Amino acid sequence: MNENTNTRSYRYYDLIMALFVTVLLISNLLSSAKIIDLKMSLGPIALAFDAGTLVFPISYIFGDVLTEVYGYKRSRRVIWAGFGANVLLGLFVWIAAALPGEAEWQGYAGQGAYDAILGGISGLIVASLAAYFLGAFSNSYVLAKIKVWTGGRWLWMRTIGSTLVGEGVDTIVFTVIATLLGVFPPEIFVSLVVTNYILKVGLEALMTPLTYRIVNLLKLLEREDYYDRATDFNPFKLSV
């Protein structure tokens, strides 16, 4: 469908937005909480990754679904909703850390435990916001353009192709900034970049059949299959 669908309302758009934002928040909490070591290696590179990688690729699947079905401009609004939610997460984790802890809590947990697990989340949020902004918009832009170029054929090409670009940008930016801010030790920088990228792209590729099912079902239920033929791809606009 074309640009004259901008004023339409949709049955499932808000639900996908909520799921998308939820996945982003969970991934940031997990990234701060734990680094996982698979006890395997790719040549000299140990396969270690932050725990947020377990769920973060799901956000790219939602991003693909949003752009494929509803178009770049509606996907852009969801990306900004996720951005705002991440800012609030970082703010309130910081506020909670600054407030004094109750005496009994200090005994069985304590400020040290809080700081060790969540103390780095402010730096993590900074890294996540920069990486998320650049990666999510790259993913959505590439998918929208490939869809127009291919006339809507080969969905697998644009979901995987956009993920290769978006996740590449996201992984490098996120790991560089988080390492510079002291969230991750520099000794595992290469391992984090390589492992995160392989896992993110690999999971998205494995879930391609599910993405097909969700996309086709939503197109049928929403009676929408948006093509961004005359779209303004400015990421700073919120209008649809």
Contact predicate 41/51, CB 8 Å: no
Q: Can you tell me whether residue 89 is helix, strand or coil?
A: helix
**Beta-ladder partners of 50:** 35
- Which pLDDT score is estimated for 227? 94
- Which pLDDT score is estimated for 140? 93
- Which pLDDT score is estimated for 24? 87
Instruction: Using 70 as the pLDDT threshold, list the residues of the chain that sit under it.
Output: 1-7, 120-121
120: exposed, middle or buried (Cβ count in 10 Å: 0-12, 13-18, 19+): buried
- Which pLDDT score is estimated for 3? 47
Nearest to 138 by CA among 162, 157, 160: 162
- Could you give the residue ranges of the DSSP H alpha helices within the chain? 13-33, 56-70, 72-98, 103-108, 111-118, 121-150, 155-180, 189-206, 208-222
Distance CA(212)–CA(41), nearest Å, equals 32
- Which pLDDT score is estimated for 185? 85
Q: Can you tell me whether residue 236 is helix, strand or coil?
A: coil
Q: For 57-90, what is each residue's pLDDT tens digit? A: 888 888 899 999 999 999 999 999 988 998 898 8
Fold of 3-222: Arp2/3 complex 21 kDa subunit ARPC3 (1.10.1760)
Distance CA(121)–CA(96), nearest Å, equals 12
- Which pLDDT score is estimated for 134? 92
Distance CA(218)–CA(220), nearest Å, equals 5
Contact predicate 134/173, CB 8 Å: yes
**Residue 172 CB neighbour total at 10 angstroms:** 16
pTM summary value: 0.83
- Which pLDDT score is estimated for 151? 92
Contacts 24+ apart (CB under 8 A), 99-105: none
